[in-house]
């Protein structure tokens, strides 16, 4: 591990472009510079105007460089979870060296073998996430280098996304004069900081309330197992205020930030705020509860959409409950409203670093922590993806339809359960009587979660 290094994250959001510069020293990330610029070329998390986005990136980078006193060339960039697919893949090779010691070359070869599969022409491989290596039948190996064996296998998850989305991200970064050092799936990055190790392991729902959309992901066993995108975010609340009160978007945003509250019933009556109305010379007094009702209506609609998606896979039964983050989650009363609608514990996450203590920075900070914690094997895998573009490998099968993440999870979770059960049976003694204890019914508690994902 490098003792001291500089890492830069680039968060291309609907409302803003954020650049965070950190120094990694003594196993800690220290923020040394931040640049934030209004986003004008992104809609619902997707780049729709390359030139406008490039200019916004350049301005944000310049601000971060000035504050950090560094020159930024390499950036870690997040990929939105829109139409993302995560599928299981595996590869197997014969160890190449004469003494049968597994080397970097063997690891690289087995990663390449795992990637040899049909990918539709409209999709692109974003990353490959190694799960375990198997050496001559011995599984559960995280790093096989230096071991002796004849056969090396790899089980991994292949992340693919729409080629248009990935291309536009790469194009914008390149036109801004930068190089992408890592391309990371956004929920993976955000969960790294927003969830505790226990929450990532046992299962938690992460809701990122952005400006243009609300991204929902179920994290289980440190993996993204389900994703849902609701095309409504904090900017929709602002538009509702603007439309209903007949005021400008800038005034509506100011009203939301200064007086916004998500639960009207908790506000005192007869409290008024002045609002500049189009066509009126003087500000008009609006009841504060009325403003709150406008906000609540949009948030309830968003949360109900999310709840239906989560109920379809019984994800609300996961023990970690829900963690909210993203800029729109900072609105007072959002956590309480979410708890009332979802019926599970809900908490808010915001970064702890000085100058970044706002949920809108969760993704930018998560990108940094996720990348710094990657081991050599993951860097090998990502380097292989970067050097071997889709289409350069020979495809052994006809093109298949890309599966969405929910469908993939239905298959992989069943496999996880089967493999866990097989390993448990293998390790248990046949003569040991099965005893029931205080944890005997825990498996059934989340059975609906797995059963729902196993249905066609």
Q: What is the pLDDT of residue 133?
A: 96
Q: Domain ranges in the chain?
A: 5-81+165-192+350-387, 85-163, 228-348
Residues of the chain with pLDDT under 70: 1-3, 118, 386-456
Antiparallel, parallel or unpaired: β 179-185 and 74-79: parallel
Residue 453's CB: how many other CB atoms inside 10 A? 23
Q: What is the pLDDT of residue 355?
A: 79
Distances (CA, A) of 245 to 62, 137, 154, 441: 38, 67, 58, 53
pLDDT, tens only, 398-418: 223 333 444 444 444 445 545
Q: What is the pLDDT of residue 258?
A: 95
Element (H, E) at 380: helix 376-387
Q: What is the pLDDT of residue 452?
A: 53
Q: What is the pLDDT of residue 156?
A: 92
What CATH superfamily classification does 5-81+165-192+350-387 receive? ATPase, nucleotide binding domain (3.30.420.40)
The answer to whether domain 228-348 has CATH 3.30.420.40 is yes
Q: What is the pLDDT of residue 388?
A: 52
Q: What is the pLDDT of residue 404?
A: 42
Q: What is the pLDDT of residue 434?
A: 45
CA 136 to chain centre: 35
With b for 16 or more beta-carbon neighbours within 10 A and e for fewer, the 55-80 pattern comes to bbbbbbbebbbebbeeebeebbbbbb
CATH architecture of 85-163: 2-Layer Sandwich (3.30)
Q: What is the pLDDT of residue 437?
A: 41
β-bridge mates for residue 179, sequence order: 74
Residue 205's CB: how many other CB atoms inside 10 A? 26
5-81+165-192+350-387 and 228-348: same fold? Answer: yes
Q: What is the pLDDT of residue 439?
A: 35
């Amino acid at each position: 591990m490098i003792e001291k290094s500089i890492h830069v994250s680039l968060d291309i959001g609907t409302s803003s472009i954020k650049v965070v510069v950190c120094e990694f020293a003594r196993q800690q990330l220290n923020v040394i510079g931040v640049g934030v610029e209004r986003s004008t070329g992104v809609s619902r998390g997707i780049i729709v105007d390359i030139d406008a986005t490039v200019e916004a990136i350049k301005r944000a980078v310049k601000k971060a460089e000035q504050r950090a006193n560094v020159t930024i060339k390499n950036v870690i960039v997040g990929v939105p979870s829109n139409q993302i697919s995560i599928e299981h893949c595996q590869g197997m090779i014969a160890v190449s060296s004469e003494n049968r010691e597994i080397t970097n070359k063997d690891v690289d070869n087995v990663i390449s073998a795992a990637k040899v599969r049909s990918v539709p022409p409209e999709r692109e491989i974003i990353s490959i996430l190694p799960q375990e290596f198997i050496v001559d039948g011995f599984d559960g190996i995280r790093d096989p280098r230096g071991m002796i064996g004849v056969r090396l296998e790899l089980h991994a998850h292949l992340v693919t996304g729409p080629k248009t989305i990935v291309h536009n991200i790469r194009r914008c970064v390149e036109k801004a004069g930068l190089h992408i050092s890592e391309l990371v799936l956004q929920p993976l990055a955000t969960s790294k900081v927003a969830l505790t190790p226990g929450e990532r392991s046992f299962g938690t729902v992460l809701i990122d309330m952005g400006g243009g959309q609300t991204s929902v992901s179920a994290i289980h066993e440190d993996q993204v197992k389900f994703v849902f995108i609701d095309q409504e975010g904090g900017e929709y609340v602002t538009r509702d205020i603007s439309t209903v009160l007949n005021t400008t978007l800038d005034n509506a945003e100011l009203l939301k930030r200064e007086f916004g509250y998500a639960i009207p019933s908790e506000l005192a009556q007869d409290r008024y705020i002045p609002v500049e109305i189009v066509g009126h010379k003087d500000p008009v007094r609006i009841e504060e509860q009325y403003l709150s009702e406008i906000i609540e209506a949009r948030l309830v609609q968003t949360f109900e959409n999310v709840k239906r998606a989560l109920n379809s896979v019984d994800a609300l039964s996961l023990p970690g409950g829900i963690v909210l983050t993203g800029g729109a989650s900072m609105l007072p009363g959002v956590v309480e409203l979410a708890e009332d609608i979802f019926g599970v514990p809900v908490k808010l996450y915001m970064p702890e670093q000085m100058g970044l203590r706002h949920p809108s920075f969760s993704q930018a900070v998560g990108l940094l922590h996720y990348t710094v914690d990657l081991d050599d094997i993951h860097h090998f895998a990502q380097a292989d993806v970067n050097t071997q573009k889709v289409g350069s490998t020979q495809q052994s099968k006809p093109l298949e339809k890309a599966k969405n993440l929910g469908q993939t999870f239905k298959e992989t979770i069943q496999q996880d359960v089967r493999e866990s059960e097989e390993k448990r049976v293998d390790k248990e003694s046949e003569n040991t009587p099965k005893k029931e204890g205080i944890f005997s019914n825990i498996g059934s508690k989340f059975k609906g979660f797995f059963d729902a994902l196993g249905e066609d």
